[in-house]
Amino acid sequence: MWVVMDSGMTNEQFGRVVEQYQKLVYTICYQMVRDHHEAQNLAQETFLSAYTHIDRCREEDMKPWLCRIASNKAKDYLKSAYVRRVQLAREDEDGQEAEFRSIQDPDGSPGDQLETSEGAEAIREMIRSLHEPYLKVSVLYFLEEKSVEEIALALGRPRKTVQTQLYRARLALQKMIKEGA
C-alpha cells in the first residue's frame, strides 16, 4: 500500500528522490563533519526530516531543499553539546585540525566506559583548573553547554573575544591532555 503525502508524492516517488540525491546529501554531510559514520547518520536524518515535511517543498525545489536540510543537520551536529564536550580536536604540527578523538564511546565495554567516565572527569577537572580569562568561558561553553553568544552576553565580552578565549583554552586543554596532566 502506498501512502500519498500532502504534496501528492507517493512513497515510491520519494524512494526515487532518495536514490537520486543520496550521494549529494551524504557528501554535504561528510564535508562538514569529516566522519563517515556521522555523515551517514546525518544523511538518514536529512531524508527522514524531508519525508516528514515533504508538504513544504515543491518537486522542482527538491535538490536545494535537501541540500539546505543536510547542511542544517550537519551544523546542528557540530554545534551540539556532545561534540563540544565529548570530542576534542587534536592539532598536528601544521596547526591543521586532525582527526577527532572521541572521549566517550557508547558502544565500549563496561571497563572502557569506566575509563571513559574517569577520562571525562579528568577533562572536567582540567577545565576547572584553567585561569582567567579562560576559566569562565570554558566552564560556560564545555560544561554548561552555552553558546558563544550566550557567553558573550553573560560575561559582557565581545563575541570575538569569547571565540579567541575559547580557542586559547582549547589549546591549553590539548596541551594538558598531551602532557598527561
Nearest Cα to 101, choosing from 79, 112, 86, 111?
A: 86
pLDDT at position 138, please?
Answer: 85
CA end-to-end span of the chain: 61
Mean pLDDT of 70-92: 66
Average pLDDT, the chain: 75
Q: Which residue has the cell 564545555?
A: 142
d(CA 43, CA 21): 10
Looking at residues 76-80, what average pLDDT do you find? 80
The answer on pLDDT for 9 being more than 80 is no
Mean pLDDT value across residues 140-166 = 87
* pTM attached to this predicted model: 0.47
Position 113 pLDDT exceeds 60: no
Q: pLDDT at position 6, please?
A: 47
